[in-house]
Structure 1
């Protein structure tokens, strides 16, 4: 019986090794995209940060434009009116955060624009002006801060930079995908259970043969009766 137990433990260890080796990571490697723009503009009472998440995208992707405005709480800031379009980009979503007062008595507001292209090509996020003035002025003396234009490259999904698509070589046979891990575990467990039950049955049959009383031949029984 001890041999059966040791064999069971050995087979269990083999199952764990097989399952761990058969598992493969299905998640693709993370894509490396180009870093976006980051521009900072400063004036006497105003600081503006303009950022994009990428400089180049495909025609099926989008660009996030983030404008962070920080100004003295004694000043009023007037942002440009962003409607449905920004240059050749379509504004798919436009969010404005609630003004946040910092410990240095400045007010921070974040404007987030999700920009969507239509065709491949060179897109330009145009420059825009931000006006600011002191709240205490009876007649506002508006000052302005102007940003720089930013160029975004939008690539085609079909051809990329070449005029004609590049034809890839024919690949060889592709391996069939592995079955789910739970299926492998179930099959191996059933096989293992069958082997263990068979060994137990064989072990019991051997014990029965050893302990069984040998049958008395008929001629010996007749001699005893005489």
Structure 2
């Protein structure tokens, strides 16, 4: 799936912890490049929601795994003009906003850690990736789903900054919550994502680390677009920037 080094970048993996802005940046980058945008996290959220709807305990590994292997999850272009980035359907039902509920937030890391759940979802994600010209966003894209992606980005930010962003997102949608609760939930999710046995959250060795703690969405997107342009320019005759380099905000350079 990897392209020769003299061809433009066709596959981009964006990973990072919850609340770092992966969805916003991934979508903006895909629109800029004319690529397909695919947020793999919505698939795990949909499985989690399905379990909650069926009153299956999120920590019941066998039942949740069987559900993941049989449920129908569709990720489609936006079908409603309500600010959504995509339409997610679960067994034909539009669950685009339901998968962002606090109870889904609290349980999705448990569900996504189950090996059979990840195996079922990764198989679908790899099929989509084969066509190229896409920006795929998640927590194990550069390490597991697309280890040979042309460009890998790890988007990071402090826990406090990420919790504040998620709190404001929930508030803007009229979802009752508190910053303290969001902070606690996000800290627990980080711990689960970092420590799970299957596909733990971590940057790929050759990922570019972009810390957006002190950048807003527009500044972060501009930096990522510039990074893609830099790497495309480097491909014809020179090696890309050394692996694992941290990309500082422009005003810190």
Q: What is the TM-score with the length of structure 1 in the denominator?
A: 0.20
Larger radius of gyration: 1
Q: What is the TM-score with the length of structure 2 in the denominator?
A: 0.18
| Higher percent of residues as strand | 1
| Higher percent of residues as helix | 2
- Higher RCO, 1 vs 2 (CA within 8 Å, ≥6 residues apart): 2
